[in-house]
Amino acid sequence: MPKFKIIIEYDGTDFVGWQKQNNGPSIQEEIEKAIYRLTGDKTSLFGAGRTDAGVHAKGQVAHFDIKKKFNIDNIRDGLNQYLRPYPIGILKAIEVDDDFNARFLAKQRTYKYSIINRRTPLALDKNRSWGIFKKLDIKKMTLESKFFLGKHNMKAFRSIDCQSKSTIKTIDEIIIQEKDERLSIIISARSFLHSQVRIMVGTLVEIGKGKIKKSVKKIIKSEDRSQAGITAPACGLYLVKVDY
C-alpha cells in the first residue's frame, strides 16, 4: 500500500484549524476529500502539527496511505486541482517508507510569528499579521527572548485547553528579525504546548510595550499563566518547516 508525504501551504483564516471538527471546515478534511476524489480511496491524513483556527502554514507536513500506485507529480497536481476553490496548496509529494509518520517522527517544528509595528491599521496584511500600533522596544524583546532557550517547565505559557501530560519543553532556537515596520519572531522546538508560541509572542510584545516589567526568566520560574502575557492573535502565526 503506497504511502505519501505531502508538504502543504495554506491560509487558515476561514478554517476551524487543521483538525477535523463538527463546527466548520478544516484543512485536514478538505485534503482528505481531495484524496478521495483523485484516488477513490477513503483515507486518513495525519499532520505534523495541529494548527489552530486562523493559523497559516508554509511548510505543514502530512502523510496518507492509498491502495493504488500513483506518480508523485500526479498526486501533487491532482490534489491541487481538487483543492483549487480553497487557499490550500500541495507544494510537494514524496513516496515514503511504510514506517514514516509525519507527527511522531518529526525532530523539530519551526514557527514564525509576523508582526507589523506601525501607526497605520493593516490593509493588505489583515488576517496575515498582528498589527501593533505602539512602538515596541525590540532590543528589550530580543534580550528577554533568550531566556526561553533550553529546557524549561513552560506551564506559564500553556493554554487552559492544553491536554499535554508534561509541560516540560525545550526551545532550540528563537530569533527576532526586524526590517522597517515588519517584525518576525521565529521559534523552533521538537514540540510545543497548546498556544505556547502565541503566548510566548504575546508576552514578548507586552514586554516590548512596557506593560510587563517582570523578566521572562521569572515568568518561567513562576509556572503561573497569569504572570505571562496575552495570547497573540492566530492570524500572525505560520508553521514554516518540519524537520525529520
Q: Which are the catalytic amino acids?
A: 52
Hey, is 160 helix, strand or coil? coil
| Cell numbers given for 6 | 505531502
| Cell numbers given for 234 | 492566530
Q: How far apart are CA 234 and CA 65, in angstroms?
A: 31
Closest CA to 39 of 62, 70, 73: 70
Sign of the alpha-carbon torsion through 30, 33, 37, 42: positive
The Cα-based distances of 75 to 27, 177, 187, 190, 196 in angstroms read 17, 36, 31, 28, 34
- Amino acid, single-letter form, for residue 170: T
| Cell numbers given for 86 | 480553497
Hey, is 83 helix, strand or coil? helix
Hey, is 18 helix, strand or coil? coil
Find the length of the chain: 244
- Amino acid, single-letter form, for residue 94: I
